[in-house]
Amino acid sequence: MSQATLGDDEELFGEAANEMREDVESSLEEAWGALPAADAIWETDADNVLGVLNGLNSALNAGDAEDHLRDAKKWFTMGQRADAFEDAEDLEDEIADLEAAIEDLSEAGEQVGELTSTIPALRGTLQDIDETDEADADAEEDEE
């Protein structure tokens, strides 16, 4: 191979490495942007607890963030294996932070989902107790 070809190959590799880093950064930016807004999980217009829980459960959905994170990890892994990144710690840290945020959303969603199925049953149980107490009170009044 001639010197010119080697120089061209290095230049092409450098361009590819820069494009790969840009792809990772772009995917990370899109993933962060796809996460729900803080107000979406904090504010509600619901009239009751079940409405609040259903709204919160919907708001805790990571949406397309997981797909964008997967793309970022794919390009990051490829770039690392090709030794294309001079300094990739910042990308690695951001990927870890994003993974943690998505995992937190997922865990919170599971907890809210459990409450969403538990609260109506609990309400029914408490209503039955109230009805039983009322019936007992009515029976006592009738006896007097």
Summarised one tens digit per residue, pLDDT across range 16-41 is: 888 999 999 999 999 999 999 999 99
Summarised one tens digit per residue, pLDDT across range 76-114 is: 999 998 888 888 899 999 999 999 999 999 999 999 999
Task: Give per-residue burial for 15-40: e unless 16+ CB within 10 Å, then b.
Answer: eebeebbebbbebbebbeebbbeeee
Number of domains in the chain: 1
Summarised one tens digit per residue, pLDDT across range 66-82 is: 999 999 999 999 999 88
Could you give the angle at which helices 65-81 and 3-34 cross, rounded to 10 degrees? 160
Beta strands in 14-98 (DSSP E): none
Answer yes or no: is pLDDT of 3 > 70: no
**Distance, first Cα to last Cα, the chain:** 110
Name the residue range of residue 32's domain.
3-143
